[in-house]
Amino acid sequence: MNLVEIVVLGSIIGGIWALVASGFSLVFGVARILNFAHGTYFALGAYFAIVLDRELKYLMPELPSLIFSIIFSILIVGLIGVAIYKTCIKPVRKYEVMVILITLAIALLFEKILLAIFRDTSVSVPFPISGVITVSGIPIPYTRLMALLVAILIIILLERFINATKTGKETIATSQDMEASMLIGIDVEKVYTIVMFLSASLAAVAGILYSQIYAVNPQTALRVLIYAFAIVILGGLGSVRGSIIAAFIIGFMQVTVSIALEARWAEIAAMVAIIAILIVRPRGLMGVE
Amino acid sequence: MRRVILLLLCCVLILGCTGGGPKAGKEVVKIGVIGPMDTKYGIAMERAAKIAAEEINAQGGINGRQVEVITADTKLNPDTATSEFRRLASQSNVVIGGFSSGVALSMLEVMAETKTLWLGDASSPRLTDKVAQDYEHYKYFFRPLVTNASTFPLDMAEMLDYLNDQGVKIKKVAILRDDALWTDDVMKVLRPLLEKKGYEIVMDKKVQKGTEDFSTLLLEAQDKADVIMPIIAHVKGVALVKQWKDMGIKLPIAGHDLSAIDPDFWNATEGKCIGEIYTADGGGVPTPLNSKMAHFISAYQEKYGKLPEAYSAYGVYDAVYIYKAAVENAAKAGEKNPFDADTLISYLEAFNTQHPFEGVRGKVAFTSNHDLAWGSEFVRNYICQWQDGKQVVLYPADKATGQLITPWAE
């Protein structure tokens, strides 16, 4: 087994998982919402970018078309996240089981819609620069390098946003005590909306990067959800930092299992990890109570 | 108000009794098409059947009866498939289609129970083995759409021989295959066949449907093998081919990748499939190899504005005409009911290696257990390659439309 291969490939997929899981965790930490539709934002990010790029290509050169499509897609998915929160989640927010049921139904609904429009095929977002660098025998295409850099950059920005801006601090306050936050004049509803937007957008970015490296199909959303779950449970529900660390651990585990056994065992391992952590250490690495 | 409703009801009833539709007063022959209708394989089946039906209707129908196509969706789920097959069995004269051997095997029992003629798709040998084992029970199954999976290994072995003949040195083979019933059947024959020919299978990995990350598999193959041989129909080749090209893997991909047959594969992979070598299932490549094929492709493009989405189009189109020919031969021979399933068996069996049926894909001949006869003169899997946006036939030599290119070696 090649250690370099595990580190290189595991970091890349870990970076993408970190984007997915940090948003998932943020929403749970701040609003106590377990959003089963989170994987859907991942898939929608990729699909919107693909569709927009196909259309915009006729109006402008390829590179600006791609960049615009990606930015629009991230914004649209962010807004869809907010819309789903306002229309479907907010009315039932007090009932945790209802939130799970309704977001799961949304996830299944979008899967069916994607299947009806795009059929059971894999599609991918184009990447303008082709090329490979080789690190001790492991070829790393520019797509993957770019994905890792973008993921790290966004994670740093997210940390800065939470810890260094006023809105970020309001977010932390809301996650610690919602009622006290309301008493000191924080607009909790605004915080929820911002968190929903961020969370969906982060998933969209991850979906776009993922589909540039690999591809997406309508079933991707639910598979991504399994990994997101494994990561946030390992990292500790509600802890963004824990999720980011856990994302890389799961990424390394995924690659190790793929090499040692077969790719199909990676998902099984993720599910076993979910159960094991819940039994042995339900708080995960850095969970909030 | 009540009177108006009553009046309306009466009108509906009268219209209903007189048939109302375009086929008023005439008997129709109903062709049931079953497949995964959410996928391009199912869509292509339905569209091809409709083109055949329209053509046949314009020429006076089958033995004077107009043809009507009804469809059913398997959802790739054995439970849905069996109940939908039962519905088609009660409504139609013949069922065409299938796809996915696990699903098809479940439908086979309903077929036997309802004694429904079924011109099927799905490549597992288990389907036609049943015909051989219990002929009376399963004789209603014929497989004109695809060749038996036990013949795929013959194609694969020929493909490796062909590549060696062309100067691509291949000895060690890395196999990536669907985690599904049909590839187990392929491997049972392929492994001893390749070993006998002096090839070495150094890697044999199963991949689940929906897999998109092939990085570790590609790297392992590069370490160990001379060729990556995919045997995939449920797993999509887009992600595999993209990563193969992006990572600059210095091995050819040569095998059975069902998605590579699709005309939009070039665009779906952003042209990264250049150089991929694959077998075209049942001869179903959108390259007009004969005048019938040219006619069908242009009819399809005219009606739907694009090339057939999947290989299944060609087989279904052939199947409708095979059914028509069998019925008409039965009528000519003076059969009382030429549409009867039991009657038609022997007329379908008469399309054998001596008297094959001429279809768009070439000669269709049934073996004694209702499989397609395999051989250069019959419908077979061509060896093709993606080159500059085009699907080029490399082998057999008399069908070749171009020469092998080796972009992976550059």
B154-173: pLDDT as tens digits: 889 999 999 999 999 999 99
Q: How far apart are CA B242 and CA B187, in angstroms?
A: 26
Q: What is the reported pLDDT for A189?
A: 85
Q: Do B206 and A126 touch (CB under 8 A)?
A: no
More confident of the two residues A90 and B141: B141
Beta bridge partners of residue B392, listed in sequence order: B385
Residue among A13, A124, A262 whose CB faces B242 most closely: A124
Q: What is the DSSP string of B162-226?
A: HHHHTT----EEEEEEESSHHHHHHHHHHHHHHHHTT-EEEEEEEE-TT----HHHHHHHHHH-S
Using a pLDDT cut of 90, give the percent of chain B over it.
58
CA distance B27 to B34: 22
- Across the interface, do A132 and B247 touch by the CB < 8 Å criterion? yes
Q: Which two tokens stand for residue A274?
A: 């979910």
Say if residues B348 and B365 touch (Cβ distance below 8 Å). Answer: no
For the complex shown, is ipTM > 0.95?
no
Distance CA B310, CA A73 (A): 30
Chain A residues in contact with B211 (beta carbon < 8 A): 263-264
CB–CB of A220 and B212 under 8 A? yes
**What mean pLDDT is predicted for residues A267-289?**
78
At B16 the pLDDT is: 45
Query: Is A108 at the interface with chain B, CB within 8 A?
Result: no
Contact of A214 with B243, CB cutoff 8 Å? yes
- pLDDT (tens digit, 9 = 90+) per residue, B132-154? 999 999 999 999 988 887 788 88
C-alpha neighbours within 13 Å on the C-beta side of residue B284: 29
Beta bridge partners of B67: B29
φ, ψ of residue B289 to 5 degrees: the values are -90, -15
Handedness of CA A28, A31, A33, A37 (dihedral sign): negative
Sequence-distant (≥ 6) Cβ neighbours of residue B8 within 8 angstroms: none
Q: pLDDT tier at A106 (50, 70, 90 boundaries)?
A: very high
Integer Cα distance of B72 and B70 in angstroms: 7
The 8-class DSSP code of residue A25 comes to H
Q: Residues of A with CB below 8 A from B40's CB?
A: 119, 121
Spell out, as residue ranges, where chain B has pLDDT lower than 70.
1-26, 281-288
Residue B374's SS3 state is: coil
Tell me what pLDDT residue A269 has.
Answer: 83
User: Hey, is the C-beta of A3 within 8 angstroms of any chain B C-beta?
Assistant: no
Q: What span, in angstroms and rounded, lies between the C-alpha atoms of A26 and A240?
A: 6
DSSP-assigned letters across all residues of A45-111: HHHHHHHHHHHHTTTS-HHHHHHHHHHHHHHHHHHHHHHHIIIIIGGGTT-HHHHHHHHHHHHHHHH
Other beta carbons within 10 angstroms of residue B222's beta carbon come to 18
Count the helices and strands in chain A (H runs, E runs): 11, 2
- What letter represents residue B324's amino acid? K
Residue-level pLDDT at B22:
38
Q: To 10 degrees, the CA torsion angle through A11, A16, A21, A24?
A: 170
Closest Cα in chain A, distance from residue B267 (Å): 10
Domains of chain B and any CATH numbers: 28-146+311-364 (3.40.50.2300), 150-285+380-409 (3.40.50.2300)
Mean pLDDT of chain A: 86
Task: Look at the alpha carbons of A202, A207, A212, A213 in this order and tell me if their dihedral is positive or negative.
Answer: positive
Interface with chain B: mutation pick from A47, A51, A127, A214, highest number of B CBs within 10 Å = A214
Optimal mutation site among A119, A130, A223, A271, interface B, most CBs of chain B within 10 A: A119
H or E segment and range at residue B156: helix B152-165
- Considering only CB atoms, which residues of chain B are within 8 Å of chain A? 36, 38-40, 43, 179, 205-208, 210-217, 219-220, 236, 238-239, 242-243, 246-249, 259, 268, 270
For residue B136, how far is the Cα from the chain centroid?
Answer: 25
Report which listed range, A123-132, A273-282, B189-198, is most confident: B189-198
Query: Is some CB atom of chain B closer than 8 A to the CB atom of A126?
Result: yes
CA distance A222 to chain B (A): 11
